[in-house]
Chains A and B, each alone.
Chain A
Amino acid sequence: MIRIQAVCGFGCGSSLFLRMKIEEILKEHHLEAEVFCGDVATCTSTGCDVIFTSDELGTRIKERSKVPVITITSFVNKKEVTEKTLGFFESLN
Chain B
Amino acid sequence: MSSIIKTSNIRIKEKAADWEEAIRKAGTVLLSAGSITSDYVDNMVDSIRELGPYIVIMPGLALAHAAPCAAVIKSDVALITLASPVYFGSANDPVSVVLCLGCTDRTSHLESLSALARMLLLETTVADLAGASSAEEVTQILLST
The residues of A with any CB-CB pair to B shorter than 8 Å are 8-14, 16-18, 20-21, 24, 37, 39-40, 53-57, 60, 73-78
Contacts and interface: CB of A to CB of B under 8 A. Distances in A.
Interface in B104-122: 106-107, 109-110, 113-114, 117-118, 120-122
Contacts of B31: none
Interface string B44-64: 000100011111011100010
A54 B52 CA distance: 10
Interface residue range, chain B = 20 to 34
Contacts, number: 86
A17 B47 CA distance: 19
21 contacts: A9-B51, A9-B66, A10-B106, A11-B106, A12-B65, A12-B67, A12-B107, A13-B55, A13-B101, A13-B113, A14-B54, A14-B63, A16-B114, A21-B121, A39-B67, A56-B51, A56-B52, A73-B91, A74-B91, A75-B121, A77-B123
B42 to A, nearest CB: 15
- Best-buried of A8, A9, A12, A17 by chain B (most CB within 10 Å): A12
Nearest to A72: B57
Which 7 A-B pairs give the minimum distances between C-beta atoms? Answer: A56-B52, A76-B58, A13-B65, A56-B54, A54-B54, A75-B57, A12-B106
- Best-buried of A53, A54, A76 by chain B (most CB within 10 Å): A76
SS of B interface (majority): loop
A23 B67 CA distance: 24
Interface of B: 47, 51-55, 57-59, 63, 65-68, 90-92, 101, 103, 106-107, 109-110, 113-114, 117-118, 120-123, 126
Nearest to B109: A12
Given A13-B65, A73-B92, A20 B55 contact: no
A22 to B, nearest CB: 11
Contact of B68 (A12, A17, A78): A12
B58 A77 contact: yes
A17 B67 CA distance: 16
B58 A10 contact: no
